Chains A and B, each alone.
Chain A
């Protein structure tokens, strides 16, 4: 199958997403966050489930960057070059998390996975829209999440995983930054192109609200990772 032939699926809230990328038979793929595994925070199962989810998140990030390279052959070369580098970074992250998962006694397919990021991002038909959502919003958000992850793994006494998390955040800064730099360039040279980014963000808000199960609203607010966000090109007040 060519990746352009991947169709769509309809999930919770009647939201249409891009159908999932290919996975090995060992994985149980769910389309609803409510069907993901839940374990007591900090338990060995919870830690492995987190790492298992991180592997799949990184694989999805690889797939989204790769699909964007395939879908937008006329994009500026420097942006495609950044996307290609991002592919390698996401591969290294996935391998690091998978290696750690196995060291902690886990395995591929141990827990359900969900490919919602791919499903949401690959619905957008412009590179500007995809980068607005994937690189600026999702990867920007991961700067906060992974920083909190470093603190959590450190508190659990697992400095090896904490170090992996920290290395991943450092790489993710670059992915957010190249998108921010491109958007800044577009703002000056081709501001109308940014309308697609705004439209993508609007569409995302509607989809995210529909996709989140009511019982899964965020229990606490994740602190902003001010330093890395500033380094990635966000204006921090």
Chain B
């Protein structure tokens, strides 16, 4: 069944929450990442995820939510984001962001596209189309970084695989708003 207006609002606000959290994660990593090129690439992607958050935040207002409204995803997904943010080694930061979180987020956006009516939710789909193009570019830039900086070229493959599996297992991360009780006269 396709998502209704309320469900679409919940999804868009949840995506916004995630993009803001990714922005804050990159922002925390920038001063504590020593390699100049890694620092600069992460720093440039702060602006990309901020734009995603902003576009989604303008759309929330069109879906009966306040402008720039965010909804926290499931506790398990918040925990995953927290663990990723706590990474301290540059190679793990790069792999976690480009190979796990961005890749997983792109999959979630595509899943969303498949669950809405393209006419009724056209404005969200335009936003998501742009985001997916950005994510593809960001991943390309993340790979170029690995080609340029030997210190982040590879990471612990088992660790990354475990992180990816954990991300993929979190199927439904949208918690949404509690249902308001119907007033009885």
Could you give, for residues 97-140 of chain B, a 1 whenever the CB lies within 8 Å of some chain A CB and a 0 otherwise?
Answer: 00000000000000000000000000000000000000000000
Interface hits, B33-55 → A, CB 8 Å: 33-36, 39-41, 43-44, 46-47, 49-51, 54
The answer on a CB contact under 8 Å between B30 and A66 is yes
Q: Which residues of A contact B84 (CB under 8 A)?
A: none
Interface hits, B1-60 → A, CB 8 Å: 23-24, 26-36, 39-41, 43-44, 46-47, 49-51, 54, 57
The answer on a CB contact under 8 Å between B40 and A95 is yes
Say whether B78 faces chain A, with CB atoms less than 8 Å apart: no
Which of these, B32, B41, B47, B54, contacts A1 with CB under 8 Å?
B32
The answer on a CB contact under 8 Å between B46 and A67 is no
| Interface of B: prevailing SS | helix
Interface Cβ pair total, 8 Å cutoff: 92
Residue of A nearest to B88 (CB): A1
> Which listed segment binds B: A18-26, A193-201, A209-217?
A18-26
The answer on a CB contact under 8 Å between B31 and A69 is no
Which of these, A3, A25, A66, A118, contacts B43 with CB under 8 Å?
A66
Say whether B68 faces chain A, with CB atoms less than 8 Å apart: yes
Say whether B76 faces chain A, with CB atoms less than 8 Å apart: no
Residue of A nearest to B49 (CB): A84
Say whether A81 faces chain B, with CB atoms less than 8 Å apart: yes
Say whether A73 faces chain B, with CB atoms less than 8 Å apart: yes
Interface hits, A57-91 → B, CB 8 Å: 59, 62-63, 66-67, 69-70, 73, 77, 80-81, 84-85, 87-88, 90-91
Q: Which residues of B contact A3 (CB under 8 A)?
A: 27-32
Q: Which residues of B contact A108 (CB under 8 A)?
A: 36
The answer on a CB contact under 8 Å between A91 and B88 is no
The answer on a CB contact under 8 Å between A85 and B50 is yes
- Answer whether A67 and B36 are a contact pair too, CB < 8 Å, given A73-B24, A84-B23, A84-B50: no
Assembled-state Cα–Cα distance A73/B31 (Å): 17
Counting chain B residues whose Cβ lies within 8 A of the other chain, the interface size class is: 20 to 34
Say whether B86 faces chain A, with CB atoms less than 8 Å apart: yes
Assembled-state Cα–Cα distance A220/B88 (Å): 45
Assembled-state Cα–Cα distance A80/B51 (Å): 11
Assembled-state Cα–Cα distance A2/B30 (Å): 10
Chain A nearest CB from B182 CB (Å) reads 33
Chain A nearest CB from B121 CB (Å) reads 23
Say whether A179 faces chain B, with CB atoms less than 8 Å apart: no
Say whether A6 faces chain B, with CB atoms less than 8 Å apart: yes
Q: Which residues of A contact B27 (CB under 8 A)?
A: 3, 66-67, 69-70, 87
List residues of B whose CB falls within 8 A of some A CB: 23-24, 26-36, 39-41, 43-44, 46-47, 49-51, 54, 57, 68, 86, 88
- Report, nearest first, the 10 A-B pairs whose CB atoms are least far apart: A84-B50, A88-B47, A69-B27, A21-B31, A22-B34, A66-B30, A66-B27, A87-B46, A70-B27, A63-B31
29 contacts across the A-B interface (CB closer than 8 A): A2-B28, A3-B27, A3-B32, A6-B32, A22-B34, A23-B34, A24-B34, A24-B35, A25-B34, A59-B36, A62-B30, A62-B43, A66-B27, A66-B31, A67-B30, A69-B46, A70-B24, A70-B27, A70-B28, A77-B68, A80-B23, A84-B23, A84-B50, A84-B51, A87-B43, A87-B44, A91-B40, A94-B36, A108-B36
New contact pairs (19) apart from A66-B46, A84-B50, CB-CB < 8 Å: A2-B32, A4-B28, A6-B32, A22-B32, A24-B34, A24-B35, A62-B40, A62-B43, A63-B31, A67-B27, A67-B31, A80-B50, A84-B23, A85-B47, A85-B50, A88-B44, A91-B40, A98-B36, A118-B31
